Every structure is written in structure tokens, then in C-alpha cells.
């Protein structure tokens, strides 16, 4: 079984939480792409995003993704990583299994209620959120090797499903 995987999915899908559960089970460590970027920037993504905008952030995200896909471990990506075609290509062509944590928008909205750390969430209403999810869902699917539906299950159960699917492959 592999010791490296990449987790993709919408904000609130549980990528960081599930990554933290998976890493010890795979005898490896977890890296969060957003945390890597924040260390490199020396500020929060929210601050950078507000000052420089999404396009500039996505360029930096691509550079970080290229570096991190070559590292061993569980990589939890940011929710918007699939927005750039280049990133989807990097994920699809990488040697690591890419796992899409697919969560329906209604459940995501419940999970994210009151979260003020998500720049895009602050800029849209419920309908806008659902439209963004509908736009991104096929992009996640394009980049993914494995899709795990996370609705109604906890992070431990998601991690177990991922391990089982990796063992089957």
C-alpha cells in the first residue's frame, strides 16, 4: 500500500482532519498545502487573498503543489486547488493516488456555519455556494483517482474507507 496520497475536495470536506487520521495508519506524516503556503508567505491565506486576489494566490498554490506532490506523505490540498487546469493536470499525472472527499453542499454549509477563516465563504450567499460546488464537482472528479462520499460519516470512517480502497487497488 502507498504511503503517499493527495486529498482534494471542497472547503469543509474534511481534508485536513482525514489527512491527520490517515497519516499514522500509512506510517507517514501529513502536510497541509494551505499551511505550507502560509509559512512561505509569512501571512495567512486570508490576508494574502484580500490584498493580492485569487488569481495571484492560485499561482502561488500551483508552485507549492508542484513541490509537495514530490514529497512522501498525506497531502491535504486547499478546496480551490482544482480551479486551475494546470493543477488538475499535476494531480492527475502525479504518482500518488488522488482522493476526492465528496460532500454534498447542504452538509458542507452545516459544517462551515460560523467559520470566518474561509475567504470565499465570506463573499457569497447560500445559492452562490451551491453554484460554486456544482462548478467544482466535475473538476474534482477529473483530477481524482478515487472518490469517497463523506456525507453522514465521521473522519475515522472516511479514513477507513480510503484505506480499504487503497488496499483493493
Which residues are known binding-site members? 12-17, 34, 58, 79, 118, 136
Going by C-alpha positions, the residue among 60, 17, 85, 153 that lies closest to residue 51 is: 60
Binding site listing for substrate: 34, 58, 79, 136
Q: What are phi and psi of 40, to 5 degrees?
A: -65, -40
Is residue 15 within 8 Å of residue 74, measured between CB atoms? no
Binding site listing for ATP: 12-17, 118
Going by C-alpha positions, the residue among 43, 69, 67 that lies closest to residue 56 is: 43
Binding site listing for Mg(2+): 16
Number of C-beta neighbours around residue 44 at 10 A: 14
Amino acid at each position: 500500500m502507498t504511503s503517499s496520497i493527495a486529498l482534494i475536495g471542497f472547503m469543509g470536506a474534511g481534508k485536513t482532519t482525514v489527512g491527520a487520521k490517515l497519516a499514522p495508519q500509512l506510517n507517514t506524516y501529513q502536510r497541509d498545502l494551505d499551511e505550507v503556503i502560509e509559512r512561505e508567505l509569512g501571512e495567512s491565506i486570508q490576508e494574502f487573498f484580500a490584498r493580492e486576489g485569487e488569481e495571484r494566490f492560485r499561482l502561488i498554490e500551483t508552485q507549492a503543489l508542484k513541490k509537495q506532490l514530490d514529497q512522501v506523505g498525506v497531502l491535504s490540498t486547499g478546496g480551490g486547488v482544482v480551479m486551475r487546469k494546470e493543477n488538475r493536470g499535476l494531480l492527475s499525472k502525479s504518482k500518488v493516488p488522488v482522493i476526492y472527499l465528496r460532500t454534498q453542499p447542504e452538509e458542507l454549509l452545516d459544517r462551515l456555519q460560523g467559520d470566518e477563516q474561509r475567504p470565499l465563504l465570506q463573499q457569497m450567499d447560500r445559492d452562490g455556494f451551491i453554484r460554486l460546488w456544482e462548478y467544482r464537482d466535475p473538476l474534482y472528479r477529473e483530477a481524482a483517482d478515487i472518490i469517497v462520499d463523506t456525507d453522514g460519516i465521521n473522519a475515522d470512517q472516511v479514513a477507513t474507507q480510503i484505506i480499504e480502497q487503497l488496499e483493493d487497488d
